[in-house]
Structure 1
Amino acid sequence: MTTAVAGRRGQVDADVVQERRSRRTAYLLLLPGILWLVVFFVVPIVQLFTVSLQSDYPGAPGYYYRDVNFGNYVDALIQFWPHLLRSLIFGALATFFAFVLAYPLAYAMAFKAGRWRSVMLICVIAPFFTSFILRTIAWRQILADDGIVVGVLQALHVLPGGHITETWVAVVAGLTYNFLPFMVLPIYASLERADPRVLEAGGDLYANGLTTFARVTLPMSMPGVLAGTLLTFIPASGDYVNAELLGSDRSTKMVGNVIESQFFRVPGGFDTAAALSFTLMAIILVLVFFYVRRFGTEELV
């Protein structure tokens, strides 16, 4: 009896030791990723926040001293709130149009493409093999005043201004195109994992195609929709390349253009640029939090 009890205790001790070793192994495997996040995410964020609170020496642009000056945030918002609001609006519009274009494409790839699925998937991914800037410049050529798009619209008398470039339409179009794959791929992944038998069950229960889509297909794809929306809205709101190459000097500039200008072109603009960067990040985090709480799923929340 004593031997059996001792054997059980020995087995329990061995299991405890094995569990501790497994935990240590898991922590060791996580350590490189944690160090990467700390060095390249946490430290830069802290540095950005400290820079946003610095004060510049009077009469010496570009020279700062450590301070806790929240007035930088007030001055930045008073001066550049239109650019911040415009960035959020352009990001939301680009996300909406990307969703409208991406969902039918992802649906066709998942359920209708057949042997052409791989080809369509390659076509979606192919733009990533080209420089982001080159793709945006190409859109400037496509939307040029002497291009085919403007020519067709003028022939149809639906382009009163006579041009598309240097307008908000061109900026939103560029954002939508450049970030479209980030919307297509998550939705396709969700739809591709969907069980076809569940979709067939909707028809067996006498639901028409629209009802089946609204009650079955769309809810099943919500994890992909949520992920695609976040992957599109967040970078689109902070983008400055499209507004720089496709927009005008004033009416289409986004907050990313202001941050770039304050950092690299305006003497003594580091504190303003850092304050705008931190404000944009904080606003996006708040919007993402409420969006996930409202539309999130058990897989993502």
Structure 2
Amino acid sequence: MNYRNRKSKTFWVLGVPPGIWLTVFFIIPLSLIWLFSFGDKRGLIDIDLTWTMANYARAMDPLYLQIFLKSFWFAGITTLACLLVAFPIAIAITFAPSRIRPILLLLVILPFWTNLLIRTYALIAVLRTKGYVNFGLEYLWDGLNAILLFFGMDPSGLIGERFTPAPLLYNNFAVVFGLVYVHLPFMVLPLYASLDRMDRSYLEASLDLGATQFRTFLSITVPLAMPGIISGLIITFIPALGSFLTPDLLGGTDSQMIANVIERQFKSANDWPFGSALSFILMYITFFVLAARALFSKRGSTMDAG
């Protein structure tokens, strides 16, 4: 009895404060936004709760559907690029000597120590017309131009009369590049966690039986790393889908994502009901992705048990 009393007391002491915090600062504000999505805008600041579905119907307008599709496209490309880049990094960290593995992991999580806004402005300094990338390309152009002139060749026909900076900023490329730069650690860490738990004897057995490195990678490494791949895909895709700062600072007028539209509805347009509806549509999509992941995991567990 004393044990049960102590256990109940511990639950109330440790569980009630976080529960109150979660209710006051998350559930109640989120519930208000959900109610606003069924309201009508009256004047500048008044919202009349009429339980209308007009805001959700308005979100089905081709203009907003196109922005939703573009956001999915950007998030999908970002997730795929992160997977392709993160997998070799995770493998390199997994098979690195134990003395330098913590240093490599520190380098992966080091960007989290810097504010996202600062990192984004740093990326602008790298990609802009007078940025470091174009400075490097101009240096290579000058070198190639000098070599062509040395051999008596006309460089204007091959590389042009003057260097033209590459348009790396304020376009779709800059948005995707920035999203990959921001979300890459979210893919590396779950991949490393799965690969680090991998039984390496399977790799040795595959190679001893005559399989090539590539066949071993496809048949052994990828299936064993599948839990990390799925987790990495989810925790990369969902934040990328709702990204606001990166497309706002790096993208052009044709590179805006749905989060930028939601921000304008709450601020510039002062249309909270419509912004709330867009927000919850994005949340419903997120719930659907998580539910699909849970269903996939459940089916995988059932097949393994069978």
Aligned length: 278
Q: Is the 8 A contact 1:136 1:242 kept in 2?
A: yes
Cα separation, partners in 2 of 1:148 and 1:212, compared to 1, 3 Å: same
Alignment partner, residue 77 of structure 1? 60
Give the equivalent residue in structure 2 for 1:233.
237
Q: Which moved more, 1:231-240 or 1:32-41?
A: 32-41
Unpaired runs of at least 5, structure 1:
1-16
Query: 2:37 aligned with 1:52, yes or no?
Result: yes
Contact 2:41–2:272 (8 Å) recurs in 1:
no
Give yes or no for contact 1:150–1:163 (8 Å, CA) kept in 2. no
Q: Distance in 2 between matches of 1:30 and 1:64?
A: 35
> How is 1:246-285 mapped onto 2 (pairs within 5 angstroms)?
246-249=250-253, 251-267=254-270, 269-285=271-287
Match of 1:128 in 2: 112
The alpha-carbon distance between structure 1 residues 69 and 113, as it changes in their structure 2 partners (threshold 3 A), is farther
1:104 has 2:88 as partner: yes
CA contact (8 A) 2:134 2:165 kept: no
Alpha-carbon distance between aligned partners in 1 of 2:195 and 2:5, rounded to the nearest angstrom = 39
1:168 aligns with 2:172: yes
**Given residue 237 of structure 1, which amino acid in structure 2 is its aligned partner?**
L
Q: Aligned letter for 1:121?
A: L
Q: Give the deviation of 1:152 after TM superposition.
A: 5.6
Work out whether residues 74 and 241 of structure 2, in 8 Å CA contact, stay in contact via their aligned partners in 1: yes
CA–CA distance in structure 2, aligned partners of residues 73 and 171 of structure 1: 27
Match of residue 218, structure 1, among 222, 230, 241 = 222
Moved more, 193-202 or 123-132: 193-202
Aligned 8 A contact 1:77 1:276 in 2:
no
The one-letter amino acid paired with 1:256 is A
Shift of the 229–20 alpha-carbon distance from structure 1 to 2, 3 Å rule, reads same
Matched, 1:92 2:76: yes
Letter in 2 for 1:119: I
- Give the percent of matched residue pairs that are identical in Structure 1 and Structure 2: 34
Amino acid at match of 2:36: V
Matched-pair contact (CA < 8 Å) for 2:41–2:47: yes
Select between 142-151 and 232-241 the one with higher mean Cα deviation: 142-151
**CA separation of 1:175 and 1:48: change in aligned 2, threshold 3 A:** same
Q: Distance in 1 between matches of 2:54 and 2:7?
A: 47
Query: In the aligned structure 1, how far is the partner of 2:224 from the partner of 2:7?
Result: 35
1:61 is matched with 44
Read off the aligned partner of 2:47 and give its amino acid letter. Y
Computed over aligned residues only, the root mean square deviation of the Cα atoms, in angstroms, reads: 2.8
The 1-side partners of 2:44 and 2:181 are apart by 39
8 Å contact from structure 2 (residues 125, 132) kept in 1: no
Q: How big is the shift at 1:221?
A: 1.3
Structure 2 Cα separation of the partners of residues 298 and 35 of structure 1 = 35
TM-score (normalised: structure 2):
0.81
Do the aligned partners of residues 216 and 26 (structure 1) sit closer, same or farther apart at CA in structure 2, a change above 3 Å counting? farther
Q: Does 1:287 align with 2:289?
A: yes
Q: Decide whether the 8 Å contact of 1:110 with 1:192 is kept in 2.
A: yes
Contact 2:124/2:250, CA 8 A, preserved across alignment: yes
Cα deviation digits, residues 99-128 of structure 1 (max 9, x gap): 111110011001134422111111111111
| Amino acid aligned to 2:245 | V
Counterpart Cα distance in 1 of 2:237 and 2:107 = 22
Deviations 1:165-220 (A, max 9, x none): 11111000000001111111111111111122232222233322222222221111
Give 3-state SS (helix, strand or coil) of 1:115's partner.
Answer: coil
Corresponding residue to 2:103 among 91, 115, 119: 119
Establish whether residue 192 from structure 1 lines up as the match of residue 202 from structure 2: no
Specify the code of the residue in structure 1 equivalent to 2:181: Y
Tell me how far 1:90 sits from its aligned partner: 0.8
